[in-house]
Every structure is written in structure tokens, then in C-alpha cells.
Amino acid sequence: MEEQERDYDFKKLRRDVYQYIQQQLDLVKLRLTENTSRTVAALITGIILFGLASLLFLFISIALIIFLGDLTGEMYYGFLIVGGIYFFFILLLLLFRKSLIERPVIRTVAKFFFEDEEDNE
């Protein structure tokens, strides 16, 4: 009788462990699916916003070039001035890239991937 109870307890324990492992695997799959979906959605949104911002930037640049060309009397001056402005901004970005780009991107990505874990705790 005692041996049958141990067999029953062992079988029940084994079944419970198996169910626990299955549930953990399902949880990992769900989290992976959620993170993948969020990443793809953020990537698509970023690509669309980048494309629209690029078009906006292009049209504003062309308008500024034409305005400065008319103001100075020569169109190539407009191109040179706008090119110089962009060169100045590129230099500033290169000098301050850690504080302006790298750190905020690292913080945003870390927050994006780990905010779900903070919510669950």
C-alpha cells in the first residue's frame, strides 16, 4: 500500500513538473512573440517616420537654398551656405555624439526591452 502511494506521488510530481516546464516554455514563447512584435512595430514606425522626416528636411533645404540664392543673387551661394550649415551640424554631432546620440539610444532600447519585466514585478 505504501509503495503504491509513493508511485502515485512520484507520478503526480512528475506530471506537475512536466506541466510547470510546459507553462514556462509557453511563457517564454509569449514573451518572445511580444518582444518581437513590439520590435517590428517600432522598426516599421521608425522607418516611416524617418522617411517622412527626410522628405520634410529635403523640401525645407530646397526652399532655404532657393531663398538664400535669391537673397545673395547667385543660386550656388545658397547651396554653399546650406552645405556649410549642414557641415557645422555634422561637426557638432561628431563632437557630442555620446551625449546626444549614444546614451539616449542605449537608454531607450534598454527601457523598451525591459519595461515589461519591471511591470511584472
Domain ranges (residues) in the chain: 2-114
**Is residue 19 helix, strand or coil?**
helix
Kindly give the confidence (pLDDT) of every residue in the chain, 121 residues in length, as a single tens digit, with 9 standing for 90 and above.
567 777 778 888 889 999 999 999 999 999 999 888 988 998 999 999 999 999 999 999 999 999 999 999 999 999 999 999 999 999 999 999 888 888 888 888 888 777 755 555 5
Classify each residue of 95-116 as buried b or exposed e, where b means 16 or more C-beta atoms within 10 Å of its C-beta.
eeeeeeeeeeeeeeeeeeeeee
Q: What is the pLDDT of residue 120?
A: 55
C-alpha cell at 116: 515589461
Q: Is this structure's pTM higher than 0.75?
A: no
